[in-house]
Each structure stands twice: as C-alpha cells, then as structure tokens.
Chains A and B, each alone.
Chain A
Amino acid sequence: MATETHSSAPAAIEVSDLCKSFPVARPLKEVARRPFAFARREALRSVSLSLAAGERVGLLGPNGAGKSTLLRILAATLSPDRGFVRVLGLDPAVEERRIRSRLGFVLGDERSFFYRLTARENLRFFAALYGIGGRRARERIEEIAAQVEIRNELDRPFRELSTGMRQRLAIGRAILADPEIILADEPTRGLDPVSARNIRQLLLRLCQKRQKTILLSTHNLDEAQEFCNRIAVLSRGRILADGPAGDIIPRAMQLIEEKQETRGTGPGVS
C-alpha cells in the first residue's frame, strides 16, 4: 500500500524511516533449546511523518499498531533502532531536556499521579520538575485549573477524582510549561462518551486558542474525525495513509482491515 504524505509549513515534528523493535520474552524451554536466538517484535517499520506547527494530527490505529511507541520516541523516553527524528528541530537522542521543556505529554494512564496528594499538590510537584516554583507555580496552577475546568476539584485528593477529572488534570499537567507540542496518548481511554467528548472539546479549545501542535493517538474513528485536521493511519507498525481527515476517515477501516487480513486477524478500530 502506497503511503501518502502531506507537508507544507516548517515541521514541528519530523520522522523518517523510523524503525523500532522490542525483544520478545521466550519461554524457559525455548531459551534452553536455542540460547542465542533472540526474538524481536517489530513495533514500527520505516515510519515517516511530518507535522507542521499548529497542526492537529490524529494517529489512528488498532491496539498494538505502534502509536504509543511512536509517541514515546518523540518524547525521548524510548530510543529508535534507526531512522531520523527531529522535534522542533532538535534530536531527541542528544537534546532530550530541551525537547521535554517544550513538549507536553498527556498520558492515558490515570495511575500517573500521586493518589495521596490533592490535584493542586500534584500539579505543584510536577510544576517544580519543569522548573516552575513559588508564586509563579501557584499562579500557573490557578490559570491551568481555569483552562481545564477543575478549579473546584483542586483541593480534593487525586484518589477521589472521577476518571474524567483525572484526565483533565493530566491535560493540565501536560500544559504546565505552556509547551509548543502536545502528545496525547489515547486521552479519552476509559471515559464515557460524554466525558470523552468534553475532553476532546477541551483539547480542541486549548489547541485553537494557543496554536499548539497536537499529535493524538486513538483507535476511535469518531474521535479522530472530531478532533484532527489530518490523520495518519498506523497499523502493524506501518503508516498506511496520511492526509486530510475528510479523505482518510471514509477509508480508514478498509485500510486497516486489509492490512489485518494480509497478516492474520488482529485487533480493530472502533
């Protein structure tokens, strides 16, 4: 399947020929039989993608497609096997600190906060890790709480917050340092449809108001359609199509299903 690519303005994110594989744990019996055979699972195969500043791009694909792997490489918490990666013109392998100070990561995992602390205390702690302290941190937290609409929840322990509120807090944490790029890894995972729509609208408002570049991973077609102005379809580590949401959405399912059929059955998109 030929890959279509789009590029216009200077790239906020640029990835080309990116490959990543992971070692596969083998059963003890298998290790004893062939001790020096190292199995690897390919997560990304020659992925190329470019995002212009201010673009909202959806990374659409089924579970295990390689979406989270790509986001983690961009956030410099994972090293690629090979390929070219630039985030805001910087190489994640050598300038990870500079990249991370200009990039926010919305983690889909709601366990990524400290349960015994309040929402405010959590934000204050993470603000310090971005070098924001004292009065500036206090003011910034109030500002963010207003933006992500959690002002009334700020002094409640994290463990008492609903999943939707936790996800708002995760977005608040990601924008603490007012980043130019936001990476969102399935930000509506586990949310009911109404909460999920609210989160999407919140991200959309932030993005439009502050001109942020967003790369959002999702396996939800509606989410991709509602939020993104461009979509890249990723399946089994390959980009199958990349283009305007209106062009891609109608054939996204077909593309993924074709790919699944050629490689056996696997998880699909919803």
Chain B
Amino acid sequence: MQPFELFTKTYAFLRKDFLIDTSYRLAFFAQLVFVLMLTGAFYFFARMFSGISIPSLEPYGGAYFSFVLVGLALSSYLGVAIGSFAETIRSAQVLGTLEALLVTPTPASQLIVLSSAYAFLATTLRVVLVLLVGVLLFDVDFSRANWAGALLVLLLTIVSFAFLGIFSAAVVLVFKRADPSAWLVQGLSYLLGGVYYPVSVLPDWARTVAEILPITHSLEAMRRLLILGDGLSDVSHSILALVIFSAVAGPLSILSFSLAIRRVKKDGTLSHF
C-alpha cells in the first residue's frame, strides 16, 4: 500500500471519529471535566501522606501524588487498548457498519487498527491534560524528566497494550459480547501492575505474576524517566521486557485475529452480535 493511501485512511478514521465524538458535545466535555476531578481526587488523597516518609515510594522520589499521577496516565492506555479494538468490532456489529467496512478493499486488520487510532489519540490528549493539571495546579515536579526516553517507553507501551487489544478483538469477533480474557488482564494489571501502589508492597508470588504484565514494566520505566529523570540505560530491564512481550504477543495476537476472521467468514457470523 502507498504511504499516501495509509495517510488518507488514517486521516479519514480520525476525522470520522472526531466528528462523531464532538457531535455528542456534553459527553465530550464531561470526559474532560471527569479527568480534572479524578486528578483532584488523587491529589487530596495523596495529601493524607504528606510529610510522612513511605519506604516503598522512596525509589520514585517519595511523593505519592506524582507516583499515582503517572500510574493513572499510563493505565488509561491499557483501558483504551484492551477496550477500543474489541469495542470497535462490537459497535460496528451492533450499528450495522461492519459489513459495509469489510466489503471495501481495506484489509480487516487495518480497519481494526485504524478504528482505534482516534481512541489512542484522545487518550494521549487526556494524558497530557492530566500531567499538565498535575504540574500547573498541584505542583508536581517533572523538571528533571527525560521526555525523549518517556516517549520511547510510551510507544513501546502502546504497542504492547495494542497487541492485547487485538487479541481481545479476535475473541469478541468470534464469541461476541465482552471478552473475559480482557477483564482478566485488566483486573490483574490494576491489582498487581503498580498503578496505585508500588509492586514492592506485594507478596513474592504476586510480584512474580506482576513481572509478566507489560504495565508493570511500563510504569516502572515511566516513573523513573519522568519523576527521577533517569537515563534509558537505567530502565533497560523494563524496556527489554516490553520488547520481549511485544515480540511474543504481536505475532500471537495477529494470528488469532486472522484465525477469528477466517472462522467468522466460514460460519457467516461476521455481522452477528
């Protein structure tokens, strides 16, 4: 495919989803207000611990608010990655647009990825908003942040989360409705991945499980890069883990998606819901 064609398609999806999203004006602005409220809620929650030294937070600068702010920001990518691919399939099935999309020459895999582009872009804007609110209103200190390193980890995070999402989309395509594996991964990630508290407070067995979750490594690297200003070499273990996860989950998720497409084309359940 020509790069111009890919650009045209990406732009078309972003434009379409933006127009639909902003056509529900109240919901669009309510989301932004909710982000501000959530950030504020965690700020006041963190004030309970101000002046108290918490050993498990020491490796991340000691302040709970900056710790949880990064957790909130990055975990929203997990939600959107796991949810958006499957949601794309599900809503296209329910709305009746799936078949119209699939009779075009654009491959199904490309349709799924491009359908989620807006969700990722909107999440990125929300994450930027969360971090800005943290810095401007609640005095979070990112003055030492390694932004270039953070961008690299963010890209790796999005890629590894996206593979989980594509797998979930494959399950939804075949079994319809929600995907139990998505709930499991999301539940485990919030429970053990270190979103709200450091992984070091978990028992040994739980820490072992946390090691196989990509969010654990994303958060570890991102906090060190943004809060402490560490270099990439300091977070090489986390980066390597994310690369390995993507290398394993990538082909598996793409394979499961193509098997799912083959199955629904055989069973004739492509547009069923």
User: Which listed residue, B7, B12, B265, touches A129 by the CB 8 Å rule?
Assistant: B12
Beta-carbon contact of B102 and A77 below 8 Å: yes
With contacts A117-B16, A129-B104, A130-B104 known, is A77 near B270, CB below 8 A? yes
Q: B96 an interface residue at 8 Å Cβ cutoff? A: yes
Q: How many A-B Cβ pairs are below 8 Å?
A: 96
Beta-carbon contact of B99 and A69 below 8 Å: no
Q: Which residues of A contact B20 (CB under 8 A)?
A: 114, 116-117
Q: B262 an interface residue at 8 Å Cβ cutoff? A: yes
Q: Once bound together, how far apart are the Cα atoms of A134 and B106, in whole Å?
A: 17
How many residues in A have their beta carbons less than 8 Å from beta carbons of B? 39
Q: Once bound together, how far apart are the Cα atoms of A164 and B93, in whole Å?
A: 23
Contact with B along A178-199 (1 / 0, CB 8 A): 0000000000000000000000
Q: Which residues of B contact A20 (CB under 8 A)?
A: 268
Beta-carbon contact of B101 and A116 below 8 Å: no
Beta-carbon contact of A133 and B4 below 8 Å: yes
Q: Which residues of A contact B262 (CB under 8 A)?
A: 79
Beta-carbon contact of A109 and B268 below 8 Å: no
Closest CB in chain A relative to B158 CB, distance in Å: 23
Task: With CB as the reference atom, state the residue of chain B lying closest to A170.
Answer: B100
Q: Which residues of B contact A125 (CB under 8 A)?
A: 12-13, 15-16
Q: Once bound together, how far apart are the Cα atoms of A124 and B19, in whole Å?
A: 13
Q: A97 an interface residue at 8 Å Cβ cutoff? A: yes
Interface SS of A by simple majority: mixed
Beta-carbon contact of A79 and B12 below 8 Å: no
Q: B103 an interface residue at 8 Å Cβ cutoff? A: yes
Beta-carbon contact of B99 and A117 below 8 Å: no
How many residues in B have their beta carbons less than 8 Å from beta carbons of A? 34
User: Which listed residue, B7, B19, B24, B100, touches A107 by the CB 8 Å rule?
Assistant: B100
Contact with B along A122-164 (1 / 0, CB 8 A): 0011111111111000000000000000000000000000000
Q: Which residues of B contact A128 (CB under 8 A)?
A: 8-9, 11-13
Q: B30 an interface residue at 8 Å Cβ cutoff? A: no
Within 8 A of A (CB), among B65-120: 95-97, 99-107, 111
Q: Which residues of A contact B12 (CB under 8 A)?
A: 124-125, 127-129, 133
Beta-carbon contact of A134 and B8 below 8 Å: yes
Q: Which residues of A contact B270 (CB under 8 A)?
A: 77-78
Q: Which residues of A contact B111 (CB under 8 A)?
A: 129
Q: A112 an interface residue at 8 Å Cβ cutoff? A: yes
Beta-carbon contact of B19 and A116 below 8 Å: yes
Q: Which residues of A contact B24 (CB under 8 A)?
A: 116
With contacts A22-B268, A125-B16, A129-B12 known, is A100 near B104, CB below 8 A? yes
Q: Once bound together, how far apart are the Cα atoms of A133 and B16, in whole Å?
A: 14
Task: With CB as the reference atom, state the residue of chain A lying closest to B94.
Answer: A111
Contact with B along A249-260 (1 / 0, CB 8 A): 000000000000
Q: A105 an interface residue at 8 Å Cβ cutoff? A: yes
Beta-carbon contact of A129 and B105 below 8 Å: yes
Beta-carbon contact of B267 and A23 below 8 Å: yes
Task: With CB as the reference atom, state the residue of chain B lying closest to A23.
Answer: B267
Beta-carbon contact of A130 and B105 below 8 Å: yes
Q: Which residues of B contact A (CB under 8 A)?
A: 2, 4-5, 7-9, 11-13, 15-16, 19-20, 23-24, 95-97, 99-107, 111, 262, 265-268, 270
Write 16 A-B pairs (CB below 8 A) sorted by A numbering: A22-B268, A23-B267, A78-B265, A100-B103, A112-B99, A114-B20, A114-B95, A116-B24, A117-B16, A117-B19, A121-B15, A128-B8, A128-B12, A129-B12, A129-B106, A132-B8
